[in-house]
Structure 1
Amino acid sequence: MKSRSERRPRVLYLAFYFPPSRASGVYRARATANHLVEKGWDVTVCAAPLDFLYNVIGSVDEGLSETVDPRIRVERPSLNLYTWQQDLREFSWLRRSFPLAARRLYQFSQTKLFPERYSSWAWASVVRALKLHTKKRFDVVVATGNPFASFGAAWLFNRLTGVPFVMDYRDSWTLDLFHDEPAFPDGHIAWDWERRMLNKASASVFVNEALRGWHAERYPEVADRMMVVPNGWDADVLPKAPDAPDPEDVASAEPDTVPPTVQRPLRFAYLGTLTAKQPVEEMAEAFKIARRHPDLADAELRIHGHLGFFKNSPGALKARLGLQDGPRPEGVEDTGLRYCGPVSKTEVGQVYENADVLVFLAGGGKYVTSGKIFEYMAFGHPIVSVHAPGIAAQDVLDGYPLWFNADSLDADALAASMVEAGKAARDLSPEQREAARRHADTYTREAVLIPFEERLREIVD
């Protein structure tokens, strides 16, 4: 039998949103699992059931599944669909026969046991993990939230087996990131659960220092076990950005060989899932104003990605953007906004290559980073910020030489920064682009996950 030091350490990774899910947190989960396998870990993932991803929320990117290391074992425990079911034919026998009793039972589970509708998946994950553990023991559990029931599952598995666990806060559970205030009232059981789980966790991980600091202030007794592991960009699915043209070559070139950035109207691009939490009206109005400047005449802002995370989201978001289906009615001003539809994670490189300026649109307040900004920087384009002043993403962008930040959501101020970014795109030199890429290289997934993997080995040892 192999000794503990000779065999591959084994990790149970509780990641509800895992490929083919296209939820915003799936990229961190995918990268973490792949990184651990590459570093010699035996990785088992407990993820969402496929019928939930395909049939309930309709939120999948099948191309992303192809980027998951085949050595990773993926388990998909069951989930009680009580709050998502609308069709009577899908109801359980109990709910059909005794609807009031079923509702009271569900409400009891939410108010007295664990306050999240994903909790049934968490408990099913524990049952599945215990069966796997009896055959081949796990050395450590990593739980990533949301959903935060994954933390509860890790805590319970620890109580039953003694296996240490780590809590990875991709998001905040008890802090409302969009209003910078507690997400639950005093006395809510979520606070008891969070304290209970943090007290038992061997480590807790946050995506930025602002979030770590907020939790450290609230839970000082475990602050020494908290660490920051920022998001990053995925070099394995993003092709290397092409070199920018040399201005001297452009000046001496024949007209037909002049780079397209000099010849054609500028292309601004936003890539990511658009949500109701983002300042989309401010972005649309600012771009409308910016196009009146001669340098941005006929410029386009191309929006790539899904409109919301759910089936009924696109209509409302199109209305907020002023987008219409079909041809533009006569007499209606062209705002330059173009919705280009969703893009697979494996194809986003082409979108970035075809853009001249990237628009970083983000909602929320000072605790928000957004994972998208890391791959934005990787391509070395000018980046325009469209978000509230002071968000945590500014810490990441600080030092990026092609960042244009109005530090305001005023439409005129945003329009001015868009014009400046457009000018920078026209004049971009190879040296400027290379400097931008060097800043981005400090945030590759490989770079940011090294300290995390080392911490896991310390816990196991």
Structure 2
Amino acid sequence: MISPKRPHLLYVAWGFPPSRGAGVYRALATANAFVDAGWKVTVLTATREVFEYQTGTDTDLELKVDPRLNIVRAPFSWVRGEPDLAKWSRTRIASNLLWSYARAKSDRLAFPEPVYGGWKKALLKETDRIHSADPVDLVIGTANPNVDFVPGWHLHKTAGVPYVMDYRDTWHLNVYTDTFVGSRFSRSARLEKKLLASAAEVWFVNAPIRDWHAQSYAPGSERFRVVANAFDPEFAQAFAGISKPERSDASGLVFGYLGTIYGPMPLRESLEGWRIARTRSKLVRNSRFEIHGRLGHYAEPDPTILALLKEYADDGVSYEGPVSKTAVADKYKGFDALMLILGRSKYVTSGKVFEYAASGLPIASLHHPETACTTILDGHQDWFPVPDLSPESIAETILKTAQRAGDMTPADYARNQAWADHLSRDKQLQPRISHLTELVAEASHG
């Protein structure tokens, strides 16, 4: 008896392990989840050298890649900081400024997106090769960059293959100013409209972003879905039965931040609030505030952010550097409480809020109340949001969080972890995988 053919998913993600970008965790979890559901999965991503030379790598994260995944790496040429001068053309050597201008124009002609637009050609070449060798049943592109949507659109037009657009970020919505980026009649806006109208499904990380797109691009909006970033079930399992870290009476507590620091985040206000709190509490004065993660989006820490953190080094603030995804759970278990620092936006949820919730630890939310993660954490019994972003209000919130952190019991952690169960990745992905499996099955029998 011949077993039925497994449906073939082409999953397009510019950032995939060993990339250490924020979106890599969603991409990795999604690809692995489809394999677990019985799909054959081909991942189309960028070459390792791009991450090694430009954005930094997390080689330990590759241990999480399911060996059943077929990884295809399309060459990607990133102009920024090309380390090998032997790869420079004579034209570029003669005038790097003119060459860069011409390259930027060429990239945008290929696809209306700066930096990444030129990748379209390599993507389509690999897409056609993959589909010719083993016909693709579904394409999922996760963005940004938005050029990741091109293979799905291409196979839909040429072979009738359904595609899913997974918006890890937004294309034309500025999530901090709530404005449309560029003109609504621009080439990129018109292209986005076409793509959204023909997609089998469109995924957004939260309801406010989905609703904005449904209002801006009504055709096809009934297929818009919320697929939150969430946390991985095995991540939550690492916290089962945790208790407070052992510390001496004089050592105080350890407050932790784990994530990327970038953009309009109230970092200085948070640090100033921490400094004020230390003057009002012996417990906080004896405590430490450790910051783990990346400072900016590139391999080297952003010097401006690094300088700001050093201003508060005498206040028990330390920058500890990036953390491998495989070591994140252990880092959380070394904290007594968590600091959640985010930029103000009703559209910003952040991926780390789900991991914060899964840990069961007390959380000090040092972000504006209208930020989207407020709705995620509403109901968490050891969550302490600020009423505003003044250093004084932040200090009071830190003091409340510190007092609670000192009283936490194993039962308190377990209660918080049980509450967070609805935020797990499988709760978000499984309904979509089930629906898409049925969609592909119906198409194959049609």
- Give the TM-score, by structure 1 length: 0.89
Moved more, 382-391 or 19-28: 382-391
Moved more, 360-369 or 176-185: 176-185
Q: Which residue of 1 aligns with 2:35?
A: 37
State the distance in 2 between where 1:356 and 1:8 align.
46
Residue identity over aligned pairs, in percent, reads 34
Structure 1 residue 70 corresponds to structure 2 residue 67: yes
Tell me the number of residue pairs that the alignment of Structure 1 and Structure 2 aligns. Answer: 439
Q: How does 1:208-219 map to 2 (within 5 A)?
A: 208-219=206-217
Q: Which residue of 2 aligns with 1:268?
A: 255
Corresponding residue SS for 1:7? coil
**Which residue type is aligned with residue 116 of structure 1?**
P
**Which residue type is aligned with residue 285 of structure 2?**
A
C-alpha distance 111-409 of structure 1, shift in aligned 2 (>3 A)? farther
- What's the CA shift for 1:262? 5.9
Q: Which of 348, 360, 365 is 1:385 aligned to?
A: 365
Q: Which residue of 2 aligns with 1:7?
A: 5
- What's the CA shift for 1:242? 5.1
Q: Which residue of 2 aligns with 1:220?
A: 218
Structure 1 residue 428 corresponds to structure 2 residue 418: no
Q: Which of 316, 322, 325 is 1:336 aligned to?
A: 316
State the distance in 1 between where 2:210 and 2:417 align.
27
Q: Which residue of 2 aligns with 1:418?
A: 398
Q: Which residue of 2 aligns with 1:174?
A: 172
**Which residue type is aligned with residue 35 of structure 2?**
V
Corresponding residue SS for 2:123? helix
State the distance in 1 between where 2:100 and 2:401 align.
57
- What's the CA shift for 1:292? 1.4
Q: Which residue of 1 aligns with 2:138?
A: 140
- What's the CA shift for 1:336? 1.4
State the distance in 2 between where 1:46 and 1:409 align.
42
- What's the CA shift for 1:314? 3.3
Structure 1 residue 90 corresponds to structure 2 residue 83: no
Q: Which residue of 2 aligns with 1:299?
A: 287
- What's the CA shift for 1:351? 1.1
- What's the CA shift for 1:276? 3.6
Q: How does 1:179-198 map to 2 (within 5 A)?
A: 179-198=177-196
Structure 1 residue 346 corresponds to structure 2 residue 344: no
State the distance in 1 between where 2:295 and 2:325 align.
16
Kindly provide the CA deviation profile for residues 213-238 of structure 1, in whole angstroms up to 9, marking residues without a partner as x. Answer: 00000111211010000011123356
**Which residue type is aligned with residue 69 of structure 1?**
D
State the distance in 1 between where 2:338 and 2:439 align.
40
Moved more, 157-166 or 59-68: 157-166
Q: Which residue of 2 aligns with 1:289?
A: 276
State the distance in 1 between where 2:141 and 2:393 align.
41
Which runs of no fewer than 5 residues in structure 2 stay unpaired? Answer: none
Question: Quick check: 2:139–2:152 contact (8 Å CA) kept in 1?
Answer: yes
State the distance in 1 between where 2:92 and 2:297 align.
28
Question: Quick check: 1:126–1:157 contact (8 Å CA) kept in 2?
Answer: no
State the distance in 1 between where 2:396 and 2:99 align.
59
RMSD: 2.4
Question: Quick check: 1:212–1:227 contact (8 Å CA) kept in 2?
Answer: yes
Question: Quick check: 1:116–1:148 contact (8 Å CA) kept in 2?
Answer: no
Q: Which of 78, 81, 89 is 1:81 aligned to?
A: 78
C-alpha distance 405-261 of structure 1, shift in aligned 2 (>3 A)? farther
Corresponding residue SS for 1:359? strand
- What's the CA shift for 1:459? 2.7
- What's the CA shift for 1:179? 2.0
State the distance in 1 between where 2:243 and 2:425 align.
28
Q: Which residue of 2 aligns with 1:151?
A: 149
State the distance in 2 between where 1:29 and 1:54 align.
19
Corresponding residue SS for 1:441? helix
- What's the CA shift for 1:106? 4.2
Question: Quick check: 2:54–2:298 contact (8 Å CA) kept in 1?
Answer: no
C-alpha distance 68-323 of structure 1, shift in aligned 2 (>3 A)? farther
Q: Which residue of 2 aligns with 1:440?
A: 420
Corresponding residue SS for 1:45? strand
Question: Quick check: 2:295–2:302 contact (8 Å CA) kept in 1?
Answer: yes
Question: Quick check: 2:141–2:166 contact (8 Å CA) kept in 1?
Answer: yes
State the distance in 2 between where 1:96 and 1:196 align.
40
- Give the TM-score, by structure 2 length: 0.92
- What's the CA shift for 1:81? 2.6
Question: Quick check: 1:123–1:153 contact (8 Å CA) kept in 2?
Answer: no
